[in-house]
């Protein structure tokens, strides 16, 4: 039935008023629908962009996984060949012990093999899928052990060390992995201060876990270096493998933690390694 037929027996002013009310309601509903459509369109655009980012990240992780498998195979093969070559070099050095020039050459070759072995070790650490064997231990023990092992290099580079990690600051983590992470961070700091400086190690309890910060007084990082610091094979130093911070990031990841890199206001760079407490991890799960 025609819409106007409903108003046939209604006085004209009243019919007009009711019609205007219906049209006004229709207009408001149309406006709301247009707004809803706009919101939905924006949400679709946002989700599409987010999906593209996730797809790119997934593709990058898949490429890294393939690269990791290849790197692991190559690293094992290189290490298998390094063992006999190093042995032969040691025997050769004994035979030419009377020739100072030959000994010097042998020492340089040995140093090159040591560097190569360190790179292979980094590759194996990066590509391993080792799960952490958690235990409770004082964080300061790992920090002091690493600093003690590097004391000759710290002295040689005139680098002062300040450790502010409370004795009662315990973590529940894989101690060997934590030591490895601290070692990598300290070595990175030493590389940033070839002419000397200060190394500051601090730790604090955030309530959600423990934060360990290692700061140096070097030149700091560029924006690109800061943003890409934890990317595998990205390095700002000549001959670097670019795996130091990538390994630290992997260690944090398998513990449910994170790593952040920043420049200090007073100069230098600081890397913060976070380990969530078991209670917080269970709550988050």
Cα dihedral sign for 132, 138, 141, 143?
Answer: positive
Residue-level pLDDT at 98 = 80
Q: Which residue has the higher pLDDT, 178 or 80?
A: 178
pLDDT band at 240 (very low <50, low <70, confident <90, very high): low
Residue-level pLDDT at 284 = 43
Euclidean distance between CA atoms 153 and 186, whole angstroms: 11
Q: What percentage of the chain's residues is helix, strand, coil (to nearest 5)? A: 60, 15, 25
Enumerate the β-bridge partners of residue 38: none
Nearest to 186 by CA among 253, 254, 273, 128: 273
| Residue 272 reports pLDDT greater than 90 | yes
Euclidean distance between CA atoms 135 and 206, whole angstroms: 20
H-run or E-run covering 137: strand 135-138
H-run or E-run covering 81: helix 12-95
Q: What is the CATH number of domain 135-284?
A: 3.30.565.10
For the chain, give every domain's residue range: 1-129, 135-284
Window from 68-72, 82-86, 143-147, 273-277 with minimum mean pLDDT: 68-72
Over residues 189-195, the mean pLDDT reads 90
Nearest to 166 by CA among 196, 203, 124: 203
Euclidean distance between CA atoms 214 and 271, whole angstroms: 5
* Strands of 159-164's sheet in order across: 159-164, 197-205, 209-216, 269-276, 258-263
Other CB atoms within 10 A of residue 42 CB: 10
Over residues 167-186, the mean pLDDT reads 90
Residue-level pLDDT at 65 = 66
Residue-level pLDDT at 72 = 67
Over residues 247-265, the mean pLDDT reads 90
Distances (CA, A) of 226 to 61, 232, 270: 20, 13, 10
Residue-level pLDDT at 282 = 43
Q: Are strands 197-205 and 159-164 parallel, antiparallel or unpaired?
A: parallel
Residue-level pLDDT at 88 = 79
Percent with pLDDT over 90 in the chain:
26
Euclidean distance between CA atoms 34 and 236, whole angstroms: 52
| Residue 108 reports pLDDT greater than 90 | no
| Residue 62 reports pLDDT greater than 80 | no
């Amino acid at each position: 039935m025609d819409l106007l037929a409903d108003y046939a027996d209604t006085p004209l002013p009243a019919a007009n008023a009711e019609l205007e009310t219906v049209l006004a309601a229709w207009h408001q509903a149309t406006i709301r629908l247009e707004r809803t459509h706009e919101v939905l369109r924006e949400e679709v655009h946002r989700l599409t962009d987010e999906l593209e980012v996730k797809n790119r990240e997934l593709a990058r992780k898949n490429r890294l996984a393939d690269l990791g498998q290849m790197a692991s195979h190559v690293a094992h093969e290189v290490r298998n060949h390094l063992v006999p070559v190093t042995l032969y070099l040691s025997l050769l050095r004994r035979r030419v012990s009377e020739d100072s020039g030959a000994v010097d050459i042998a020492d340089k070759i040995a140093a090159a093999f040591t560097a190569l072995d360190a790179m292979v070790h980094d590759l194996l650490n990066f590509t391993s899928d080792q799960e952490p064997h958690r235990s409770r231990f004082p964080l300061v023990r790992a920090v002091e052990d690493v600093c003690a092992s590097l004391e000759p290099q710290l002295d040689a580079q005139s680098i002062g060390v300040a450790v502010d990690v409370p004795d009662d600051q315990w973590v529940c983590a894989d101690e060997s992995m934590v030591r490895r992470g601290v070692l990598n961070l300290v070595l990175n700091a030493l590389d940033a201060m070839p002419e000397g400086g200060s190394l500051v190690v601090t730790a604090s309890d955030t309530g959600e876990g423990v934060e360990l910060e290692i700061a140096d007084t070097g030149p700091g990082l560029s924006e690109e270096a800061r943003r890409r610091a934890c990317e595998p094979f990205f390095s700002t130093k000549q001959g670097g493998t670019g795996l130091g911070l990538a390994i630290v990031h992997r260690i944090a990841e398998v513990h449910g933690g994170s790593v952040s890199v920043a420049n200090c206001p007073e100069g230098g760079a600081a890397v913060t390694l976070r380990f969530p407490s078991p209670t917080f991890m269970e709550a988050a799960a």
